[in-house]
Amino acid sequence: MHDIADLEGRGIPGVGIASTEFVQAAALQSKVLGIDPALVFVRHPIQDRTDDELRALADEALEQIIRSITAN
């Protein structure tokens, strides 16, 4: 969240990407930091996935990431 806040503060569009396990944590941290970042959540867990599984998660999220980063 701090990285996205820093990027946005410098006028650089950013999208936070995390697994669904962190939806509530991301909402809370965004509120505490006073930001409303673009966030994309992928299926949990990420750890211990194979390279092919990670590529599949990225492929599934790519369209939403592009929409989020180009929305503003």
Res. 61 pLDDT band, cuts 50 70 90: very high
d(CA 40, CA 6): 18
Burial class (CB in 10 A: 0-12, 13-18, 19+), 8: middle
pLDDT at residue 17 greater than cutoff 70: yes
pLDDT of res. 22: 97
Predicted structure pTM score: 0.88
Query: Residue 42 corresponds to which amino acid?
Result: V
Tokens, residue 25: 């944590």
Per-domain boundaries in the chain: 2-70
pLDDT of res. 71: 87
SS3 4: helix
The mean pLDDT value of the chain amounts to 94
What are the start-end ranges of the E strands in 8-63? Answer: 15-19, 38-42
pLDDT of res. 72: 64
